[in-house]
Amino acid sequence: MRLTLLVSTALTALLVAAAPAAAQAPAPTAPEKVFRYAYRVDPASLDPHALAETFTLSWLGQVYEPLVGRGKNLELVPALAEKWEQVDPTTWRFHLRKGVKFADGTPFTADDVVFSLQRVKKDGSDMAYTVASVTDIKKVDDHTVDLVMAKPNPILPVQITSTYIMSKDWAEKNGATAPASVKAKVENFASTNANGTGAFKIDTRQAGVRTVLVPNPNWWGDKTSNVTKVIFTPIQADATRVAALLSGEVDMVYPVPQQDAARIDGSGNAKVLKGAELRTMFLNMDQKRDELHTSDVKGKNPFKDKRVRQAIYQAIDMEAIKDRIMGGTSHVAGTMIAPGINGYDAKLDSRTAPYDPKAAKQLLTDAGYPDGFSFTMDCSNDRYVNDERICQAIVGMLGRVGLKVNLNAQTRSKYFEKVLARDTSFAMLGWQPLSYDAHSTLQDTMNTPEGKIGTYNIGNYSNPKIDELTQKIEVEVDPAKRNALIFEAMMLSKDDYSHIPLHQAGIAWGVRKGVNAVLRSDDSLELKWVTLD
């Protein structure tokens, strides 16, 4: 009896001691936070050096990172470089962040920086202009790199904020050591795969349909976002995109058409975040060919005549475009740079000549074209806010002064392929300087095309004085002198009607309640700052 009691007591004690372990429930897991968003198009490529298009670079900035980044107010912030300095007038030294890994676990070192910037300068890269002044890239040690220039360049750090760093090891293993040019229709492993140091990495991707991103567990930065999964869907049609937001299918959409803003704000489930773009929309005219392409004028090029360029300018009612197409939200541009771009001067931001169809007709007559002439206009139909509608309006306005314009509106992939090959007579383009500095607009859209300079000067405009001023602006360190040089260059452009600036569009993002996102004036969504309630 006693033995039985002792055994029973011991067994009970053993069971009691074991009970907590046996009954312990698994630790609760945090609820999944899925962020679903839609933009009008898909990234053109996953190769970070393939196309200097704002959306593609912005999207890739979730996966890849530059040496120098941008903060919530577009201020310069450390990224893969913790700090940078000019060790002499022609050398910028970048001190790299230690302990950084790529998404595949490979350590980030100076070798990756040297490789990436050399890759950026290769044929096929659309980003070469960002390091055009760099003549040599030197590894000082595993975490220090020198960028050497032939002449001083005080603005180099602001020029490379979208110049992303790739893994040398990954690129070499996968045959992606050269850029996969979008405009040349070249593809390699980097076109459809990515391995960066950014806050997110690609989990699955079906190009043009759906891409799933997840947090990069190797990311070095402060993890302020609580998002556990991101689902990105390109939705081209404005109405479909807005309907997806209002139905709860997605948590955010952009851009939001102006006519839908009130409906979203009044839905009770979503709201519209509004701002102003830094991108200037403008028209390019072929000013190089001796005979204008796709025109009934033979043996000469009417766009070489300033009177013709001014006639086109005065035939376009920019206020009507603002009111009837942009819903009153755009800012009519008097110059090629937007308010908010370094070097902007409000004194330049007004029309060079008034809207005046009668004066436009007289200018055409004076130039020898009393009955006008014909040509083709190239335009995207899925890249910029209301792009095809704007082009249609311009075609109609030019028609009223006798210019017979055939509109060729295409998807952005075909459009960029065509115009970047300079197979165009007249085209609408948008430009937002990646540096947020006027020098980029001058160098990349107005400088005489030569090598990696003037890449987006698709009309081949050439003015030696503007070229000279652009070079001086790049090396001038005194802000007042530099701004005076910018003013002079932009005034020359205005007086010459080198390009026809149209407007900066308004920014509008639609977000459902419970979504917190940072709206920046570069229209770039940073997933690392998105939180869900």
Domain of residue 288, CATH code: 3.10.105.10
Query: Which comes out higher in pLDDT, residue 4 or 501?
Result: 501
Q: Say if residue 336 is in the same domain as residue 469.
A: yes
Answer positive or negative: Cα dihedral of 353, 354, 358, 360.
Answer: positive
Do 154 and 292 belong together in one domain? no
Q: What is the pLDDT of residue 258?
A: 85
The answer to whether the beta carbons of residues 470 and 439 sit under 8 Å apart is: yes
- What is the per-residue pLDDT across 355-370, written as a single tens digit (0 to 9) for each? 999 999 999 999 999 9
298 and 195 within one domain: no
20-29, 48-57, 79-88, 275-284, range with the lowest pLDDT: 20-29
The count of other CB atoms within 10 Å of the CB of residue 101 is 16
pLDDT score for 90: 96
pLDDT at 12: 37
CA separation for the pair 92, 85 (Å, rounded): 6
Q: Verify that 195 and 287 share a domain, yes or no.
A: no
Average pLDDT, the chain: 93
Give 148: exposed, middle or buried? Use CB within 10 Å, 0-12, 13-18, 19+: middle
Q: Considering the domain boundaries, does residue 26 fall inside one?
A: no
Task: Check whether residue 50 and residue 182 sit in a common domain.
Answer: yes
> What is the per-residue pLDDT for 25?
55
Q: Which residue has the tokens 């839905």?
A: 267
Please say which residue of 183, 199, 215 terminates a domain.
199
Instruction: Kindly tell me the burial class for residue 33, based on how many C-beta atoms sit within 10 Å of its own C-beta (0-12, 13-18, 19 or more).
Output: middle
Least confident of 16-20, 111-115, 153-157, 349-353: 16-20
Q: Round to the nearest angstrom and report the end-to-end CA distance of the chain.
A: 64
- Asked if residue 214 is part of any domain, the answer here is no
Same domain, 187 and 87: yes
| Confidence at 16, pLDDT banded by 50, 70, 90 | very low
Q: Which domain holds residue 64?
A: 42-199
Judged against a pLDDT cut of 90, whether residue 426 lies above it is answered with yes
Q: How far apart are CA 353 and CA 277, in angstroms?
A: 24
Distance CA 244, CA 253 (A): 8
Q: pLDDT tens for residues 305-328? A: 999 999 999 999 999 999 999 989
On whether residue 265 sits in a domain, the answer given is no
Q: Is residue 205 part of a domain?
A: no
Q: Which of 168, 199, 230 is the last residue of a domain?
A: 199
Q: What average pLDDT does this structure show over 5-30?
A: 43
Q: 194 and 299: one domain?
A: no
Please indicate, yes or no, whether residues 190 and 285 belong to a single structural domain of this protein: no
9 domain-assigned: no
Is 447 a member of any domain? Answer: yes
CATH number at residue 146: 3.90.76.10
Predicted structure pTM score:
0.84
- Cα gap 353→396, rounded to integer Å: 20
Query: Rounded to an integer, what distance in angstroms lies between the CA atom of residue 94 and that of residue 84?
Result: 4
List, edge to edge, every strand of the sheet that includes 134-141.
81-88, 91-96, 144-149, 134-141
Q: What is the pLDDT of residues 62-118, one digit of tens each?
A: 999 999 999 999 999 999 999 999 999 999 999 999 999 999 999 999 999 999 999
How many domains does the structure of the chain reveal? 2
Residue 513 inside a domain? The answer is no
* Whole-number Å distance between alpha carbons of 252 and 523: 13
**Residue 269: DSSP 8-state:** S
Q: Are 286 and 302 in contact (CB under 8 A)?
A: no
Q: Is the pLDDT of residue 21 over 60?
A: no
Instruction: With a cut of 50, say whether residue 7 has pLDDT above it.
Output: no
pLDDT value at residue 182:
87
Least Cα distance to 409 among 426, 391, 422 occurs for 391
- Give the list of residues 6+ apart from residue 277 with CB closer than 8 angstroms, or none: 338, 432, 504, 505, 506, 507, 521, 523
* Residue type for position 73: N
How many other CB atoms are there within 10 angstroms of residue 421's CB atom? 11
The identity of residue 352, as a single letter, is T
How does pLDDT run across 169-206, given as a tens digit for each residue?
Answer: 999 999 999 999 988 888 999 999 999 999 999 999 99
For residue 266, being part of any structural domain is answered with no
**pLDDT tier at 520, thresholds 50, 70, 90:** very high
State whether 195 and 289 are in the same domain: no
pLDDT at 2 over 80: no
Which CA distances in Å does 404 have to 303, 380, 409, 410? Answer: 14, 19, 16, 19
In this predicted structure, what is the pLDDT of residue 259? 87
pLDDT in tens, 257-288: 888 999 999 999 999 999 989 999 999 999 99
Q: Which of 199, 225, 254 is the last residue of a domain?
A: 199
Locus of tokens 């001083």: 152
Task: State pLDDT tens for residues 430-488.
Answer: 999 989 999 999 999 999 999 889 999 999 999 999 999 999 999 998 999 999 999 99
Nearest CA to 425 out of 287, 281, 316 is that of: 287
Both structure tokens of 505: 């569009």
